[in-house]
A and B are shown apart, each in its own frame.
Chain A
Amino acid sequence: MSNKIVLGLVLGGILGILDGLTAWFTPEVRKDMMSIVFSSMLKGLLAGVLIGVFARKVNSLTLGIVFGLSVGLLLAFLVARFAVHDHYFAIMLPGAMVGLIVGYATQKYGVSSQLQRA
């Protein structure tokens, strides 16, 4: 089982890419697909690292989920804030979901580095 930070990175990255790809279904932003997918992946990676580090320090499923949700919401808010189009809801809700999933997964499945060393 991978360590919590790596798990957060992988999961955040994959979900970020998926998140970005769904922009295809919004015709007005389709022309910016590449940058959307890339930035969404970066957002996912950043969220994954932060949530993974938190999971390594704090061993609590509830706190992990709350932290993941918060990070996901915050990063999604920042993306939505600087987006050309007004898509707060369409960006923030999936962002929050991604944070929640990564928060849960890193608490539940990842192995902390201390345990790995042991």
Chain B
Amino acid sequence: MKFLPDQVVARLQTEMQTPDLSGTRYRPLKFLAHGGMGTVWLVQDSILNRLVALKILAAENSSANLAARLMQEAVVLAGLEHPGIVPVHDAGTLPDGRTFYCMKYVEGQTLDQYVSQLALRQRLLLFQRIAEPLAFAHSRGIIHRDLKPTNIMVGAFGEVLIMDWGLAKVMGTTGLSSEGKEVSGHVMGAIGLSSIAKHASRHEFTRAVQDPLKSGALVPENTLATTAHGTILGTPGYMAPEQERGDVTLIDQRTDVFALGSILHYLSREQSGVPNQRASRPLQAICNKSMAWEMSARYPSVQELATNVGKYLDDMPVSAYRENIFERTARLVSRNRVAVVLVLAYLFMRLLFILFPRR
């Protein structure tokens, strides 16, 4: 048997995946990314003459259920109008029958690429900006559930955008399974590329572990309209314990607080040129509190976490860490550095006058 070269196979796969955009306002330009259920393409909007990104359901995943999920993701994203959340411009069905939605094309770097040359202070300021759109989404009852550095983009002008809301959970909606039964008797819903059935195989889960970027690959075609109890969604390392257990009934904004804490931990340790540098105790305490095993021990909201990071940046005491008298003094001196130097200079001058009086 003769095998085709890898390059040829890759070319054929790309051709197969290339969406049929004939008769639409979009012209395909470049393949951007591959997810579990679909692909993202850079296209030209011929009417408005601008570049946009199209998220298109993969040909092999084009079941009605998954199409509905992608559409639901678009609807939820469209409802989240915030500078830190990618806006959706359009949604529909392509001539080849595949569902798509059109969103802003974000030029920039993922968080892990962007922060490699930043100092800790800049990283923490950036972290605070990551928390803003997330807090906004939480206020609208949306839990992201897949926060990680690769899902956060920093644009060309420093704007921060949270991407990939495919695993997002909508709070406060009653979820019904495809069989018409309420899922686990709780009020919740899952959207977009989000759900995998409780019967998702271990093999599929391992795929997500090996390639967290493609965690959407966990989504089998026969998934439910909501996330079933026992479902494991997310990216290892950034997943909260309740997510790892598949305990979807417990998932709320504190689940995102955990992921955000993991990102904070990542940002505070992986500094440029100083790998695995130990974070200061208050910052470590903030990370630990955010990533507490028990949900009740975490920050109740993203705002509170961001506020604590802000206090840390301002050399103020943080609620997660009880400092001793020496640390408190050091922090106060550090916070009022110039004033302390001025007073010391004054006292030193006075001492000189006393020790060396003019005759």
Instruction: Check A59 for interface membership: any CB of B closer than 8 A.
Output: no
Q: Does B198 contact A (CB under 8 A)?
A: no
| Residues of A with C-beta under 8 A to B342 | 97, 100-101, 104
Q: For the complex, is B4 an interface residue (Cβ under 8 Å from A)?
A: no
* Least distance between B335 CB and chain A CB atoms (Å): 11
C-alpha gap A58/B353 in the complex (Å)? 34
Contact A90-B338, Cβ < 8 Å, known A97-B349, A98-B346, A101-B343: no
Scoring B residues 325 to 340 as 1 if CB is less than 8 Å from chain A, else 0, what string do you get? 0000000000000110
> Chain B 345-359, CB within 8 Å of chain A: the 1/0 string?
110011001100110
Interface pair B357/A25, CB less than 8 Å apart = yes
Residue of A18, A26, A89, A108 near B339 (CB, 8 A) is A108
Shortest CB distance B350–A (Å): 6
> Any chain B CB within 8 A of the CB of A111?
no
Contact A22:B338 (CB < 8 A) given known A90-B358, A97-B345, A101-B343:
no
Contacts of B346 in A (CB 8 A): 15, 94, 97-98, 101
Residues of B close to A18: CB separation below 8 A: 350
Contact code string B203-222 (vs A, CB < 8 Å = 1, else 0): 00000000000000000000
In residues 167-212 of chain B, which contact A (Cβ within 8 Å)? none
Contact with B along A16-43 (1 / 0, CB 8 A): 0010001001100000000000000000
Q: Which residue of A lies closest to B343 (CB)?
A: A101
Q: How many residues of A contact B (CB 8 A)?
A: 18
A105 at the interface (CB under 8 A from B): yes
Q: B339 to chain A: which residues have CB within 8 Å? A: 101, 104-105, 108-109
Interface residue? A66 (CB, 8 A): no
In whole angstroms, what is the CA distance A103 to B241 when docked? 53
Q: Are B343 and A94 in touch, CB under 8 angstroms?
A: no
Confirm or deny: A93 has a beta carbon within 8 angstroms of a beta carbon on chain B: yes
Residues of A within 8 A of B349 (CB): 93-94, 97
**Residues of B contacting A98 in the complex (Cβ-Cβ under 8 angstroms):** 346
Chain A residues lying within 8 Å of B345, measured Cβ to Cβ, are: 97
Query: Provided the pairs A89-B358, A101-B343 are in contact, do residues A94 and B350 lie with their beta carbons within 8 angstroms?
Result: yes
The complex places the Cα of A65 from the Cα of B112 at a distance, in Å, of: 42
Assembly CA distance A101 to B339 (angstroms): 7
Interface residues on B, range: 10 to 19
Select from chain A the residue with minimum beta-carbon distance to B358. A90
A78-118: contact bitstring with B at CB < 8 Å (1 yes, 0 no)?
Answer: 00000000010110011001101100110011000000000
- B residues in contact with A97, CB < 8 Å: 342, 345-346, 349
Shortest distance between the CB of A110 and any CB in chain B (Å): 12
- Contact in complex: B358, A22 (CB < 8 Å): no
> Closest A-chain residue to B346, C-beta based?
A97
* Bound form: Cα–Cα A27–B353 in Å: 13
For the complex, what is the distance from the CA of A9 to the CA of B183, rounded to whole Å?
A: 68
Q: How far in angstroms is the closest Cβ of chain B from A91?
A: 10
A residues near B354, Cβ cutoff 8 Å: 22, 25
Residue in B closest to A85 when the chains form the complex, CB atoms: B358
A25 close to B343 (CB less than 8 A):
no
Most chain A CB inside 10 Å of its own CB: which residue of B343, B345, B349, B350? B350
Are the C-beta atoms of A90 and B343 separated by less than 8 Å?
no
Q: Indicate which residue in A90, A108, A109 contacts B353 across the interface (CB closer than 8 Å).
A: A90
Shortest Cβ distance from residue A75 to the other chain B in the assembled complex, whole angstroms? 16
Which residues on B sit within 8 Å (CB–CB) of A101? 339, 342-343, 346
Q: How far is it, in angstroms, between the C-alpha of A10 and the C-alpha of B51 when the chains are bound?
A: 61
B357 and A22 within 8 A (CB): no
A60 CB, nearest partner CB in chain B, Å: 15
Say yes or no: A22-B350 contact (C-beta < 8 A), given A89-B358, A90-B358, A104-B338: yes
Q: Which residues of A contact B350 (CB under 8 A)?
A: 18, 22, 94
In the bound complex, CA of A90 to CA of B352 (Å): 11
Known: A25-B354, A97-B346, A101-B346; 14 extra A-B contacts, CB below 8 A, are A15-B346, A25-B353, A25-B357, A26-B357, A90-B353, A93-B349, A94-B346, A94-B349, A94-B350, A100-B342, A101-B343, A104-B342, A105-B339, A108-B339
Chain B contacts to A: CB under 8 angstroms:
338-339, 342-343, 345-346, 349-350, 353-354, 357-358
Give 9 nearest A-B pairs by CB, closest first.
A25-B354, A97-B346, A101-B342, A22-B350, A26-B357, A90-B353, A104-B342, A97-B349, A101-B346
